Structure 1
């Protein structure tokens, strides 16, 4: 579908795209508010993108991106954010297998993970504050991950140096429901 390839300085609001494979490939300086996408390989190789209030169902979304921030959104699809640099997710719901792997300077703030979000953070440098539980974490490279709980933590001989990511269990704030 070669739609919105190599776009520069684009601003969109209240947009829905179905069968939107490869949407926004190689885009730069993109601002999107209230967006719904069903289509694979979205936002690959994009730079300087801010998305708010989105629902994105896309395999390989945000592959090899740089300086992308997503706020208050649902991100559903396998291999989310692979090989990204400076990907920041704020108040997002993340689902899909092998999310957020091979990322550099990945930041998650107040995000939640679905039960199918497994094998997350492999070879990534990450700073994450996660609400709720993470089904599985595999071999993060460095940084700090704080979640309310974990299903499985895999740290094996394939973990890349420095291999010093702190994986912590955070406590619910007083007054929060158990």
Structure 2
């Protein structure tokens, strides 16, 4: 998937999660005294999840930019962690969507709720973000493989290296 598709999907998903964090913040301030701890824990958990997903999305968008330019990206722990965070957040949605589709096609039961439409859109964005991550990693792997093939066949052991011929230029003085 291209960056044009990934950016709106990621922004909607991050915006939906941020709305949930802000809603939890409003609940945490208005919670009764005996419920404040659990409200603040929920706020910190959702805020941390939003920060981690924002970090992973930034890593994914950077990888897509490098892929579009045809550049091979150097990998460090932060970039690998960003991709793993995207996988950890979006991979559990695949079996859930597969089960819902299976139930709908085989039994005819619909397990998909359309009532809060924003939740349905957020649930649809998760497999799309996973597909974008897999596609970006696939493209990066092909770039690396193409570079290795070019290096391996540049000077194969069976070939003879012929240096470029020197052109004779009479107007240049030789030393």
**TM superposition score normalised by structure 2:** 0.21
Structure number with the higher helix fraction is 2
Between the two structures, name the one with larger relative contact order (CA 8 Å, sep ≥ 6): 2
Structure number with the higher strand fraction is 1
The structure whose Rg is larger is 2
